[in-house]
Chain A
Amino acid sequence: MNQQEWPLWEVFIRSKQGLDHKHVGSLHAADAVMAVQNARDVYTRRLEGVSIWVVESKHIHASNPDEAAEFFDPAADKVYRHPTFYDVPDSIKHM
């Protein structure tokens, strides 16, 4: 069998106006047009979306989970980035 598998696409759906597109899963399609149509049939049979993005899976680059601790470390010790770090006197309002 020298038959080629259709490429894999990642599907992102905006569930309603005002919200981000969110990853929902993947599917196979010969090209982008077919990927969008298949995504409609597979992932929005009950009006789950108003907009669809598809990206061929091979174009997604990701951070390495094995290095997650070191990679996200710079944000770990910066408590002063959060408003709760600061003591606001009780008499001060609207802050």
Chain B
Amino acid sequence: METSTLTPEEQFQARIDADVRIEPKDWMPDAYRKTLIRQISQHAHSEIVGMLPEGNWITRAPSLKRKSILLAKVQDEAGHGLYLYSAAETLGASRDQMLADLHSGKAKYSSIFNYPTLSWADMGCVGWLVDGAAILNQVPLCRTSYGPYARAMVRVCKEESFHQRQGFEVMQTLCEGSAAQKEMAQESLNRWWWPTLMMFGPKDADSPNTEQSMKWRIKRFTNDELRQKFVDMMVPQAEFLGLTVPDEKVQWNEERQAYDFGEVNWDEFWAVVKGNGLCNHDRLQARVQAHEEGAWVREAALAHAAKRAARAAVAA
């Protein structure tokens, strides 16, 4: 290949096509940088906001064991947010600006966290279904073209499978319990199934950026491909639990070797994306409040560090 006659954009694309990772100081098209900052920071925000629906149950977990597990899981999600913010910062984004964009509502986070967690079984469904869907989204990103993002995703994925398994175990325990417990599990599945299918994003036909993102390898499967994979994975698991997926159209298709399933309610999807979900307001308010109430701690830590540095300078 005669590289000298290629434009910088063509050279960049050639590196990506050859599966060479892009690192922070390498030349990259502005649009690649911007798209990545948006994607990674949205992902980080989702991890951070995602702590809220589960945090809701930490003090009400049914046993000390469940409480310890849930606490560890929520702490992992905080870690995931931090790995990802740090990856976005390598592209020149500032942490303060990313947080400001989240708090002002300018930046998005995954809509799934705008649904309420009403019963203990929801802790099962969030781990089993929501983390299950997140894993499908995230595993291919371990091979994404941007080095720091790919490395952050490797870390995240190592921790996610514990999240999914603990959720499945919560569901299994309820399903093997009393009739009321099993009913609680089914009721939770009824509420979470469709919102989880929405986590994969709009239909391919309504996702105009997919093509460019696949070309840049910052997305490796389309939304519909991942949604299908998810249904194929989850229907047998629900059957194992003795639960029924709330979709009458779910049926094994021998010819496609995949499950057919019904249509997502896209009006609901767009309504929640636009801020009209059940919890959009509460989630953002909780984030902003935590940030504002922590302001004095951040200032005090800086003052303390400055004082210590000054003392060390005098002693030296």
A residues in contact (CB < 8 Å) with B: 3-6, 8, 25-28, 30-31, 34, 41-43, 45-46, 62, 64-66
Contacts and interface: CB of A to CB of B under 8 A. Distances in A.
A27 B128 CA distance: 30
B117 to A, nearest CB: 23
B34 interface: no
Given A62-B25, A64-B25, A31 B305 contact: yes
Interface string B280-316: 0000000000000001001101101100110000000
Contact of A5 (B79, B82, B86, B94): B94
A6 B89 CA distance: 13
A25 B289 CA distance: 28
B305 A27 contact: no
B25 A42 contact: no
A43 B302 CA distance: 23
Nearest to B81: A42
5 contacts: A3-B96, A8-B89, A25-B87, A27-B86, A66-B27
A38 to B, nearest CB: 9
Given A26-B89, A27-B82, A30-B304, A5 B151 contact: no
B295 A31 contact: no
B76 A30 contact: no
A71 to B, nearest CB: 13
Nearest to A64: B25
B83 A65 contact: no
Contacts of B302: 4, 6, 30
A64 B24 CA distance: 11
Given A4-B302, A27-B82, 6 more contacts: A5-B94, A6-B298, A25-B83, A31-B301, A34-B305, A45-B76
A42 B305 contact: no
Given A25-B151, A65-B23, A65-B26, A3 B299 contact: yes
B212 interface: no
B154 to A, nearest CB: 11
A12 B156 CA distance: 18
A16 B164 CA distance: 28
Contacts of B298: 3, 6, 30
Nearest to A23: B151
B24 to A, nearest CB: 9
A46 B302 CA distance: 29
Most buried by B among A28, A41, A62: A28
A42 B80 CA distance: 9
B96 A31 contact: no
A30 B82 contact: no
Nearest to A31: B305
Contacts of B89: 8, 26
B152 interface: yes
A42 to B, nearest CB: 5
Contacts of B309: 31
A1 to B, nearest CB: 8
Nearest to B22: A65
Contacts of B82: 27, 42
Closest 7 CB pairs of A and B: A30-B301, A31-B305, A30-B305, A26-B86, A65-B25, A25-B86, A65-B26
Given A25-B86, A31-B308, A65-B25, A42 B301 contact: no
Nearest to A5: B96
Contacts of B95: 5, 28
Contacts of A43: 79
Contacts of B152: 25
Contacts of B25: 62, 64-65
Most buried by A among B82, B90, B95: B82
Contacts of B83: 25, 42
